[in-house]
Amino acid sequence: MQSEYVLELSNIRKAYGENVVLNGVSLAVKPGEIHALLGENGAGKSTLMNILFGMTMIHETGGYEGTVKISGEEVSFTSPNDALSAGIGMVHQEFMLIPGFTITENIKLGREDTLPTVLSHLFGKSLERLDHAKMDSDARKSLDAIGMGIEEHTRIMGLPVGYMQFVEIAREIDKLGIKLLVFDEPTAVLTESEASQLLDVMKSIADKGIAIIFISHRLSEIMTAAHGMTVLRDGELVATKPVVETSVTEIAELMVGRSIDNLGIAQEETFAGKPVALSIRDLHVDMPGEAVRGVTFDVHEGEIFGIGGMAGQGKVGVANGISGLFPADGSVEVFGERLDLLKLGDALDKGLAFVSEDRRGVGLLLEESIAHNIMFRVMATRQDFLSSFGFAKLLDAGKMNKHAQDMVELLDIRCHGYRQKVGTLSGGNQQKVCLAAALTMKPRLLIVSEPTRGIDIGAKELILNYLTKLRKEEGLTVIMISSELAELRSLCDRVAIVSDGKIVSILSPNASDAEYGLAMSAIAPADPDNEKGGVQ
Amino acid sequence: MSSLSEAKAEQPSILHTVQKAAADFGLPRVIILTTFIMLFVLAGIFNMNLPSFFGDVLRRWGMWGILVLAMVPSIQSGIGPNFGITVGILGGMLGAVLSIEMRSAGVFDFITNATMFGISTAMAAIVLGVFFASIMGALYGMLLNRVKGSEMAVSVYVGFSALAIFNIVWALIPVRTSTLILPATGSGLRQMINLTDDFGGAFDGLFRFQIGDMTVRLGLLSVFFVCCLLMWLFMRSRLGMMMSAAGSNPAYARASGINVDRMRILGTTISTALGAVGIIIYAQSFGFLQMYNAPQFYGFTVVASVLIGGATVKRARIFDVLLGAFLFNGILTIALPLANVMMPDVPGVPEMLRLIITNGIILYALSKAKGGR
């Protein structure tokens, strides 16, 4: 008798060096079940799937602990091919299709049906010819199974995005003996109607007895399609429940809720009466992977304004658009002055400093010294740190070094001295250099994007404390963009949650976990005015 | 027992330091430096006139120096080593030809002092050359902005194409000076233009002195050093620093409000203009202006020189120019007479050596360019 589960993961633990990314996670899926896997970015979903598929990077970094069972048999995949032959398939978020090939050819790629020829008798199987008839009929069967009426000879090139997704699925279910399919955020790139069609397809696949692991952060989809669900948070298993026994609010709470006590929650303070420091109206930013589609908000002087949301939803795009790094459209006013979004460096000229999320790519000159990095932007935009030398103005090394030394001490930048190249510093210290450079601009408005990404706890604390201190002592207005909700809530006066390029809601740091969770899943909280209107 | 294990633990760390120091200095520099010293020792063993050789090395250092220096602005601004330095050289040659025409028209006749006469004609050639080279350099820079990512390949072909176009110019340019005109046809320029009546030796003759058999052309070297100093100062100016930032990290430069494309054009223009200066200094020392295809492979020579000095295709310092130009020319200068003594029956050994070093070092640098740091 076989096990009742297709897949059983038990007590999975995985660490990269000393960083534990998964701890004691278990997951079991029955045949025909659609099982939702939920969690914020970095909760460990991808790592869990990588373990399941035997991705090489898992083994290169020391393997994992715990057991993986397929249909009751313990397995340990060492390559994705092992997983595929055991009947596990994956529908990728980015399509793995060849545009110039037909749908049939894409479905059958690598598993072509062939007929023997004269040459193949002599030289082996690689010279057999393709059995087009059989391939076409197989492809047809798979396409029909998911209710896709399209001609199987059509080339992929030029198909709508939704169709490509369906071809991916057709390819997976065409594989013989497929038992389990993983859908990784399959609806992220689809329109609403395509998404609902996809959910129907998933249900019909499940009805055929194939188990599905469904990764999504759109909670409404999970409520409609999934049977069971598992929530991960910070690498730990939070809950496993049948979907019928839970609600959107509860799932949201489970995903977000965390030991806020560590960081605390910011004192609520209202800035509504204060003058407006930054006024944004209908901002659109064309940043690949972080598109912003119409964002409107005001930030008041002295406020710390947070922007949160899942990766790829556009929160980072807001900052990059304002700073003029990506093409943007809309109205942005800084202290009443209109920014020219198309003019390079206009934001810098108007007293706005930006600490980019891409430290090494945008934030620093890695081959230059700490001192050079700290003074460079001020030198370039305001001609500071220069001294007259005959007819020319040259770098004032004395002033640069003195200022750098001050900054190194102030922000506790751990280095051999301000002459050290920033490329050799640790992430946290590089971030401090970025911050020092931004502060050297003496900005009136500071935008920090992902200030604590990839840095150690000590540096994290120092940077966060310093931002609070600056606001308190110098009345600096700060916009902080972060994937870490807890961080935003510990620091900010208000937190805007962005999803799909738009602001879902602007929340108080005291708002409940559920409210945050729902906003992250693009479900706006019921607006009291609307509710009244609804009653009438 | 414990002391033994301690010693064992220490050993790799010392080895590591040595390896790191060697890696920082760069393997090719080590090889070239060793070759140079070895050749010098060999020359001594064969009883050759070392001081005289050393004087020649110094001279060639000054001759090539400014052309090598022209690599600094191009590398720093992000377009990489400027193989198309030929464009600047052609501008300089045009300036020199015009300066010679002016001289024969009597423009400089009011200057009676022979030294001042030479320097004036040279300066006229430099000013005109820089003028033409700057215009061509700016256009060349605009072209390079359209081919980001393959600047090195494109610059090689820009150099070759410009050379071909100017070959037509040289053949058709209407000149009156007898030292310029090809005697056989009565029209078009000569292959080798004798500069004795113009700026030949204008700077070489300046502050020239002997130490035993060694001739030091201090005038020539001074011009080179002054150019290096000016470049060093420029790199510490706001514009220079902005240009370097644009080359080292374009995204960073953009975030600092710098127009990266404009900085690249600036770097290309300065590099090309320096090419014009460089060829005039080269020609005045050589005594002849070599026309037509002569400068075809100068680009490779100067790129190799700066790379030997320790520059990469992304970063170059003035020190790399000084060291690179010295080592490259040093080896070739000593190798020539040495080869004649050691292998009198094999012709062209120094030329082979030059090609091996030039192309080998460029190959090495290119292989390091990607996937390196």
Q: What is the pLDDT of residues A311-368, one digit of tens each?
A: 778 888 888 888 888 888 888 888 888 888 888 888 888 888 889 888 888 889 888 8
Look at B237 and A393 and tell me if their CB atoms are within 8 Å: yes
Q: Name the residue with higher pLDDT: B12 or A365.
A: A365
- A204 and A71 housed in the same domain: yes
Residue A534 reports pLDDT greater than 50: no
b/e code B275-297 from CB counts within 10 Å (16+ = b) = bbbbbbbbbbbbebbbbbebbeb
The answer to whether residue B351 sits within a structural domain is: no
Q: Name the residue with higher pLDDT: B275 or A489.
A: B275
Element (H, E) at A80: helix A80-85
Q: Name the residue with higher pLDDT: B254 or A461.
A: B254
Chain A residues whose C-beta is within 8 A of a chain B C-beta are: 323-325, 344-346, 348-349, 354, 356, 358, 361-368, 376-377, 379-381, 383, 386, 389, 392-395
- A424 and A449 housed in the same domain: no
Look at B257 and A366 and tell me if their CB atoms are within 8 Å: no
Domain hosting residue B271, numbered range: 50-296
Task: Output the pLDDT for position A1.
Answer: 43
Q: How confident is the model at residue A530 (pLDDT cuts 50, 70, 90)?
A: very low
Q: How confident is the model at residue B369 (pLDDT cuts 50, 70, 90)?
A: low
Residue B183: Cβ within 10 Å count: 7
- Listed residue (B275, B227, B232, B254) closest to B76, CA to CA: B232
Segment of A7-16, A501-510, B288-297, B339-348 carrying the highest mean pLDDT: B288-297
Using a CB–CB cutoff of 8 Å, tell me whether B19 touches chain A.
no
Q: Are strands A494-499 and A304-308 parallel, antiparallel or unpaired?
A: parallel
CA distance B314 to chain A (A): 11
The answer to whether residue A110 sits within a structural domain is: yes
The answer to whether residue B21 sits within a structural domain is: no
Q: How far is CA A230 from CA A62, A67, A386, in A?
A: 26, 18, 59
- A447 and A536 housed in the same domain: yes
Q: Name the residue with higher pLDDT: A222 or A528.
A: A222
**In chain B, % of residues over pLDDT 70:** 91
Q: How confident is the model at residue A201 (pLDDT cuts 50, 70, 90)?
A: confident
The answer to whether residue A91 sits within a structural domain is: no
Using a CB–CB cutoff of 8 Å, tell me whether B256 touches chain A.
yes
Look at B241 and A379 and tell me if their CB atoms are within 8 Å: yes
Which residue among B252, B254, B258 places its CB closest to the CB of A364? B252
Q: Name the residue with higher pLDDT: A435 or A268.
A: A435
The length of chain A, given as a count of residues: 536
Q: How confident is the model at residue B270 (pLDDT cuts 50, 70, 90)?
A: very high
Instruction: Tell me how far apart the alpha carbons of residues B364 and A160 are, in angstroms, rounded to a whole number.
Output: 47
Look at B252 and A344 and tell me if their CB atoms are within 8 Å: no
CATH of the domain at A60: 3.40.50.300
Task: Output the pLDDT for position A93.
Answer: 66
Look at B248 and A367 and tell me if their CB atoms are within 8 Å: yes
Mean pLDDT of the A184-199 span: 77
Look at B256 and A348 and tell me if their CB atoms are within 8 Å: yes
Measured between CA atoms, the residue of chain A closest to residue B255 is: A325
Residue B327: Cβ within 10 Å count: 23
The answer to whether residue B42 sits within a structural domain is: no
Global pTM exceeds 0.90: no
What would the pLDDT profile of A14-49 be if each residue is shown by its tens digit? 887 777 788 888 889 998 899 999 887 667 888 888
Residue B181 reports pLDDT greater than 80: yes
Which chain A residues are Cβ-neighbours of B249 within 8 angstroms? 361-362, 364-366
Task: Output the pLDDT for position A41.
Answer: 67
CA distance A432 to chain B (A): 16
Q: How far is CA A28 from CA A51, A52, B241, in A?
A: 15, 12, 59
End-of-domain residue from the set A133, A160, A177 = A177
Token look-up 């390949």 returns: B153
Domain hosting residue A323, numbered range: 266-351+443-536
What would the pLDDT profile of A79-116 be if each residue is shown by its tens digit? 888 888 888 888 876 677 888 888 888 888 877 888 88
Complex ipTM:
0.78
Which chain B residues are Cβ-neighbours of A356 within 8 angstroms? 255
Segment of A153-167, A397-411, B21-35, B353-367 carrying the highest mean pLDDT: A397-411
- A133 and A160 housed in the same domain: yes
The answer to whether residue B329 sits within a structural domain is: no
The answer to whether residue A147 sits within a structural domain is: yes
Task: Output the pLDDT for position A264.
Answer: 60
Using a CB–CB cutoff of 8 Å, tell me whether B237 touches chain A.
yes
Task: Output the pLDDT for position A117.
Answer: 82
Instruction: Tell me how far apart the alpha carbons of residues A491 and A480 are, in angstroms, rounded to a whole number.
Output: 9
Residue B372 reports pLDDT greater than 50: no
Which residue among B238, B241, B255 places its CB closest to the CB of A325? B255
Task: Output the pLDDT for position B12.
Answer: 52
Q: How confident is the model at residue A269 (pLDDT cuts 50, 70, 90)?
A: low
Distance separating the N- and C-terminal Cα atoms of chain B: 41
Q: How many domains does chain B have?
A: 1
The answer to whether residue A260 sits within a structural domain is: no
Measured between CA atoms, the residue of chain A closest to residue B250 is: A362
- A172 and A188 housed in the same domain: no
The answer to whether residue A261 sits within a structural domain is: no
**Is B179 within 8 Å of B199 (Cβ atoms)?**
no
Task: Output the pLDDT for position B43.
Answer: 84
**Is A91 within 8 Å of A98 (Cβ atoms)?**
no
Listed in sequence order, the DSSP H helices in chain B are: 2-25, 27-45, 50-69, 71-76, 86-104, 114-146, 151-172, 218-235, 238-248, 250-255, 260-286, 298-308, 318-342, 349-369
Q: How many domains does chain A have?
A: 4
Q: How confident is the model at residue A170 (pLDDT cuts 50, 70, 90)?
A: confident
**Is A489 within 8 Å of A265 (Cβ atoms)?**
yes
Give DSSP secondary structure letters for A137-164. Answer: HHHHHHHHHTT--S-TT-BSTT--HHHH
Task: Output the pLDDT for position B232.
Answer: 94
Interface test mutation site (partner A, options B252, B259, B263, B315, max chain A beta carbons within 10 A)? B252
The answer to whether residue B349 sits within a structural domain is: no
One-letter identity of residue B49: N
Listed in sequence order, the DSSP H helices in A315-426 are: 315-322, 346-349, 370-382, 397-410
- A170 and A311 housed in the same domain: no
- A147 and A275 housed in the same domain: no
| Residue B19 token pair | 């390896």
Q: What is the mean pLDDT of chain A?
A: 82
- Listed residue (A267, A331, A273, A333) closest to A301, CA to CA: A273
The answer to whether residue B310 sits within a structural domain is: no
Which chain B residues are Cβ-neighbours of A376 within 8 angstroms? 241, 245, 256
Look at A393 and B249 and tell me if their CB atoms are within 8 Å: no
Q: Name the residue with higher pLDDT: B23 or A282.
A: A282
Residue B304: Cβ within 10 Å count: 25
What would the pLDDT profile of A391-446 be if each residue is shown by its tens digit? 778 888 888 999 999 888 888 888 888 888 888 887 788 888 998 998 888 888 89
- A229 and A118 housed in the same domain: no
Q: Name the residue with higher pLDDT: B122 or B25.
A: B122
Q: Name the residue with higher pLDDT: B336 or B169.
A: B169
Residue A471 reports pLDDT greater than 80: yes
| Residue B146 token pair | 């359209």
Least confident of A96-110, A179-193, A300-314, A496-510: A179-193
CA distance B129 to chain A (A): 24
Residue B244 reports pLDDT greater than 70: yes
Measured between CA atoms, the residue of chain B closest to residue A325 is: B255
Measured between CA atoms, the residue of chain B closest to residue A347 is: B257
Segment of A2-16, A190-204, B68-82 carrying the highest mean pLDDT: B68-82
Measured between CA atoms, the residue of chain A closest to residue B232 is: A394
- Give the single-character DSSP code of A421: B
Mean pLDDT of the A287-291 span: 82
Look at A392 and B233 and tell me if their CB atoms are within 8 Å: yes
Least confident of A447-461, B130-144, B307-321: A447-461
Look at A361 and B241 and tell me if their CB atoms are within 8 Å: no
Task: Output the pLDDT for position B321.
Answer: 94
Residue B77 reports pLDDT greater than 90: yes
Task: Output the pLDDT for position B87.
Answer: 96
A and B: number of Cβ contacts within 8 A: 68
End-of-domain residue from the set A442, A458, A491 = A442
- A81 and A183 housed in the same domain: yes
Which residue among A377, A383, A395 places its CB closest to the CB of B256? A377
The answer to whether residue A378 sits within a structural domain is: yes
Which chain B residues are Cβ-neighbours of A363 within 8 angstroms? 252, 255
Which chain B residues are Cβ-neighbours of A365 within 8 angstroms? 245, 248-249, 252
The answer to whether residue B249 sits within a structural domain is: yes
**In chain B, % of residues over pLDDT 90:** 48
Query: Which of residues 166 through 205 in chain B touch A, CB cutoff 8 A?
Result: none
Q: How confident is the model at residue B220 (pLDDT cuts 50, 70, 90)?
A: very high
- Listed residue (A446, A426, A275, A483) closest to A354, CA to CA: A446
Segment of A519-533, B77-91, B170-184 carrying the highest mean pLDDT: B77-91
Element (H, E) at A278: strand A276-285
Instruction: Tell me how far apart the alpha carbons of residues B21 and B289 are, in angstroms, rounded to a whole number.
Output: 43
CATH of the domain at B235: 1.10.3470
- A416 and A271 housed in the same domain: no
- A449 and A535 housed in the same domain: yes
Residue B209 reports pLDDT greater than 80: yes
**Is B95 within 8 Å of B129 (Cβ atoms)?**
yes
Task: Output the pLDDT for position B125.
Answer: 95
- A61 and A82 housed in the same domain: yes
